Structure 1
Amino acid sequence: MTSGRRRAALFVDEERDSRLDARTTGEERHMLADFLAAQRATLELKCAGLEAELALRSVEPSTLSLLGLVRHLADVERRWFRRVLAGQDVPLLFGTDTHPDHDFDGAVPEPAVIAAAWEAWRAEAAFADRFVMEAPDLDIEGHDGWRGTVSLRWVLIQMVEEYARHNGHADLLRERIDGAIGV
């Protein structure tokens, strides 16, 4: 690093890292749920110990920030699990039709905004977890205006991909904030 800051590890004890506990055999539903849980835990880890710094932007003119990622992923969870699969007629929490990037643009370093983002993200993840475990099977379907008919299986795979991509962004954002890196 050119800033002279010492690189800090976000996590050094691999023996206690629950993200490594994903099942490698067994029922598909549980394996997919484990992979999604590991990706969610990675996002939390990348944000650990930060408050106002969560809203720091990557590079102008981008509005990408860790807080924006939390808000965005809350809306992504809500969209796929509540709206598409459960058929609930609920609005997104942060983005709107007229301002689809408000999840990132509205990610400001105010304690109430930060707390609301985490509360929303946790609530949407909890709803998704219940939905996945209570679904009769992974072949249940929902309709999405963009993708058409999708199954719960496809949504779980899509969510793992979504988190993995954004956790890559989170890696870079966190390293820029304080030099911390992780497994």
Structure 2
Amino acid sequence: MSDPTRRGELFGGANGAGRFTGPTTGDERRMLVDVLHAQRATLQLKCSGLGPELSLRSVEPSTLSLLGLVRHLTDVERRWFRQVLAGQDAPALFSSTAEPDGDFDGATDDHGAVAAAWVAWRTEVAFAEQFVTEAPDLDIKGDDSWRGTVSLRWVVIHMIEEYARHNGHADLLRERIDGPIGM
């Protein structure tokens, strides 16, 4: 009989190494940025090696898919960092007032749609990373129609929560597609 292993230790192997190696004490900004970076890397890992399969839905009637999560998180990054904190006029890329679930509903297996979603996600993540790096401190503020005045600190914490929640969805979706499980 082989030694038992935990399901959560089976996903990622070498590709997953190094995601959670940031500091556990010290500077608040560095810790928050490193945890958010790890959550973003987890989303990428859960989607790695897939193409059109990224658009496979969870279970009817849900339109939840890995590609939908990428598109959704792109819009979330864009909203909080570009719109709220940077004050840019930057409408969502994948959803709208007319199509509030366009991020999920529009996630198709078209190669161009998959590639475009990843380009958009990487662009928004790069903007957010630069914004956080250049911000004088975590107390800078922006105004949001939903939450009112928010600080950069709150937005980074919210983004960690957003990714962590959706990475749980991504774990189940990936297991359904081809079996990999865990962290």
TM-score by length of 2: 0.93
Looking at structure 2, the residues matched to 10 and 119 of structure 1 have their Cα atoms a distance apart, in angstroms, of 25
Q: Deviation string for 1:96-143 (max 9, x for gaps)?
A: 111110000000000000000000000000000000010010000000
* Letter matched to residue 148 of structure 1: G
Who is 1:149 aligned against? 149
Who is 1:64 aligned against? 64
Task: Tell me the SS of whatever aligns to 1:171.
Answer: helix
Pairwise CA distance, 1:11: 1.5
Looking at structure 2, the residues matched to 13 and 105 of structure 1 have their Cα atoms a distance apart, in angstroms, of 33
Who is 1:52 aligned against? 52
Segments of 5+ residues of structure 1 without an aligned counterpart are 1-6
Looking at structure 2, the residues matched to 141 and 127 of structure 1 have their Cα atoms a distance apart, in angstroms, of 17
Task: Tell me the SS of whatever aligns to 1:81.
Answer: helix
Q: Deviation string for 1:25-66 (max 9, x for gaps)?
A: 221111100000000000000001000110000000100000
Contact 1:85 1:143 in 2 (8 A): yes
* Letter matched to residue 110 of structure 1: D
Is 1:116 aligned with 2:116? yes
How many equivalent residue pairs?
176
Task: Tell me the SS of whatever aligns to 2:143.
Answer: strand
Looking at structure 2, the residues matched to 55 and 13 of structure 1 have their Cα atoms a distance apart, in angstroms, of 25
Looking at structure 1, the residues matched to 97 and 74 of structure 2 have their Cα atoms a distance apart, in angstroms, of 16
For the aligned residue pairs, the C-alpha RMSD in angstroms reads 1.6
State the percentage of identical aligned residues. Answer: 69
Pairwise CA distance, 1:12: 2.5
Who is 2:3 aligned against? none
Q: Deviation string for 1:77-108 (max 9, x for gaps)?
A: 00000000000011111001111100000000
TM-score by length of 1: 0.93
Is 1:93 aligned with 2:102? no
Q: How does 1:131-170 map to 2 (within 5 A)?
A: 131-170=131-170
Task: Tell me the SS of whatever aligns to 2:19.
Answer: helix
Task: Tell me the SS of whatever aligns to 2:155.
Answer: helix
Task: Tell me the SS of whatever aligns to 2:20.
Answer: helix
* Letter matched to residue 103 of structure 1: D
Is 1:10 aligned with 2:11? yes
Task: Tell me the SS of whatever aligns to 1:21.
Answer: coil
Q: Deviation string for 1:127-172 (max 9, x for gaps)?
A: 0000001001000000000000000000000000000000000000
Contact 1:55 1:66 in 2 (8 A): yes
